[in-house]
Amino acid sequence: MLSHNTYPCITLIYGPMFSGKTTKLIELYKETLTKNKNCIAINYELDTRYGKNKIISHDGLAIDCYSITNLDDFIKNSHTKEVIANADYIFINEAQFFETIFESVLYLNETLKKNVILCGLDLDYKREKFGTMMNLVSSATKVYALKGVCKLCNGASEFSHRTVANSLQILIGYSQYIPLCEKCYVSENGLS
């Protein structure tokens, strides 16, 4: 549940792939709409797994969105500036992909006085920090640290394991990854 305080807040949702991040974001979006608040949703443009201009969770929940690659440009663009100005809440999916996510979210929240709810991966497939999204933890009023279910042992998954040979940090698609717990991740990657 979101806090509907009078002062705008940042809510951060993070975890590995298949942990329910997008589902949580969509649930909060729909809950906020019931409070008669003006909401907009933003998704990373290259995330076209389920279609463009939609945020769709693995379990089929969906909302309309703006599909963009540069959050800073979207905020300051003369065509979309009014959309931002009229929004009470801004929901951002796949936040780890936006290069200016840290600066943009602080600008939206502190300068424009917007409630910002964002979700994304905290770590990449090598267990390395993914972008600057996690720098927002100290500025967030509410943080959801989600875990999924390990594909190998059914324990709590904390990591996204890549199942294809490709060294790019950004490889979009759910079929190239499985969620793993620490023990299974270490074993699958020959780290023990």
Establish if 94 belongs to a structural domain. yes
pTM more than 0.85: yes
Q: What per-residue confidence (pLDDT) applies to 191?
A: 85
Establish if 92 belongs to a structural domain. yes
- Whether the predicted pLDDT of 10 surpasses 70: yes
Q: Tell which residue, 12, 11, 58, 19, has the closest CA to residue 159.
A: 19
Establish if 2 belongs to a structural domain. no
Mean pLDDT, residues 16-23 taken together: 95
94 is catalytic: yes
Number of domains in the chain: 1
Establish if 81 belongs to a structural domain. yes
Establish if 101 belongs to a structural domain. yes
Establish if 177 belongs to a structural domain. no
CATH at residue 103: 3.40.50.300
Establish if 157 belongs to a structural domain. no
Are 25 and 89 a contacting pair, CB within 8 Å?
A: no
- Whether the predicted pLDDT of 169 surpasses 80: no
Tell me the pLDDT tens digit for each residue of 108-136.
999 999 999 999 999 999 999 999 999 99
Segments forming the whole domain that contains residue 114: 10-146
Tell me the pLDDT tens digit for each residue of 69-98.
999 999 999 889 999 999 999 999 999 999
- Choice among 94, 128, 158, 188 that is catalytic: 94
